[in-house]
Amino acid sequence: MAKLTEEAKNVIGAMRPAYVATANKTGKPNVSAKGSVRVLDDEHVVFADVHSPRTIANIRENPQVSILWLDAATHKGCRIWGKGEIITSGELFDKTAAMLASRNMKINAVVKVAVEQVETN
């Protein structure tokens, strides 16, 4: 597992949305913009499934995930690769649900991504 650098954490905290790429078991890709991606700890990021049926279905079949943050004006950003885990109950789910409920959003799941590689530019 890789550790997120301070530079990567700063990019992740500052840029919205992030673009989450997944693929099903046959390799058919899907990319979805996510405004809820945040750093969980030095080795994980998380995002909420508000309405992401393809993303969730793909992670069930193939947990490989890539996430991109990009500032279009400067072409600077961050990319991570890792494995996604779908969480539908427990403390992390409850905390994320409460955070997004304040914005009138209901979540179906939380995806916790274990960072395997990180690049910033």
**Sequence spans of domains, the chain:** 6-120
Percent of the chain scoring above 90 in pLDDT: 93
Average pLDDT in the chain: 96
For 78-97, the pLDDT digits (tens) are: 999 999 999 999 999 999 99
CATH number of 6-120: 2.30.110.10
The model carries a pTM of: 0.94
- Distance of alpha carbon 108 from its chain centroid, rounded? 15
Distance CA 93, CA 48 (A): 9
Q: What is the structure's pLDDT at 1?
A: 83
The owner of tokens 């990567």 is 8
Token pair listed for 97: 């649900």
For 45-68, the pLDDT digits (tens) are: 999 999 999 999 999 999 999 999
Q: Are 14 and 6 in contact (CB under 8 A)?
A: no
